[in-house]
Structure formats: C-alpha cells, structure tokens
Copies of this chain bind each other. A is one copy, B any other.
Amino acid sequence: MKNSGNLPERIIFPQGEKVGNEHFIGTAWLSLLVPYDEMYHCPVYNVTFEPGARNSWHKHPGGQILLVTGGRGYYQEDGKKARVLRAGDVVTIPPHVKHWHGAAPDSLFTHIGITTNTHLGDAEWLEPVSDEEYDRLP
C-alpha cells in the first residue's frame, strides 16, 4: 500500500511494515518511532489499519495512549459502545481494560500508540473481534 487509495489525510509518520501476527484481522502497518529502551521506557509507534482491519480484544497491564492522526476508526471497551475516532482524537486506555481498535469498514485509520508503564509487562491478547460484532458498529 502506498499513499494512493482512500487515505483522507496525508500520512505524517512512516507507514512501516505489514503487521504479520495473528492478533489482527485484515491488513495493518506498523512503524516503530521510538523503540522500547532503558533510557525512555516509552515505546511509540505509528499504526495504519486498512479499511476493515482491526486488532483482537486485548489488555495492557500498564495502559496505552492513542493519538489519532488520520482516517476514521473505532475504539471499543468490553461492555461499552464503540467510540468513533477521527484525526485529533486522543484515547487513554487504563491498565487491564479489555479493548480493541481498528479502522471503519470504508476508511483507512492511523494512530500513534504509546505504551505506558512498560515495566508492568506485555499486552495480553484475547479473542478476535468477530465479523458479527464488527458489522454491528455504526
């Protein structure tokens, strides 16, 4: 994917590499802007979801922050209505809250992600967001 297609805003941060793991449905791209290290303790990454792409339900033991830079997508916490996200939106995800994020069916979606309190451990990955759940979204 290059910057053709239906990206509503121009890409600011590098798109990076295709995400190649089982915790995503559809195609997503990830570029690590600041790797985890012992100086900053603050990994920062740019994630681009193609239309319809989303990650599985998951939890972060130390929380996460999302800064939306383009497109249209969703953030949903378990048991709550999905929140529609657009450029300029900020999401704070408390530790241990089960959630997912991803693109709308008809739009790319790009956010910066920041993993907070990294000393508390890695994300815990759970079940995928089924087509049934996803197709019910606004």
Among candidates B34, B41, B88, B92, residue contacting A12 with C-beta atoms closer than 8 Å: B88
Among candidates B12, B41, B70, B116, residue contacting A40 with C-beta atoms closer than 8 Å: B116
A25 at the interface (CB under 8 A from B): no
- Size range of the interface on A? 20 to 34
B9 lies within 8 A of A90 (CB)? no
A112 lies within 8 A of B67 (CB)? yes
Give chain A's interface residues, CB within 8 Å of chain B.
9-10, 12-14, 33-34, 39-42, 44, 63, 65, 67, 69-70, 87-88, 90, 92, 94-95, 112, 114, 116-117
23 residue pairs from A and B, CB less than 8 Å apart: A9-B10, A9-B12, A12-B69, A12-B70, A13-B88, A13-B90, A33-B90, A34-B65, A34-B92, A39-B63, A39-B94, A39-B95, A40-B63, A40-B92, A41-B116, A41-B117, A42-B42, A42-B114, A44-B65, A44-B67, A44-B90, A112-B112, A114-B114
**New contact pairs (19) apart from A39-B94, A41-B116, CB-CB < 8 Å:** A12-B12, A12-B69, A12-B70, A13-B88, A13-B90, A14-B88, A33-B90, A34-B90, A39-B95, A40-B63, A40-B92, A40-B117, A41-B117, A42-B42, A42-B65, A44-B65, A67-B112, A69-B69, A114-B114
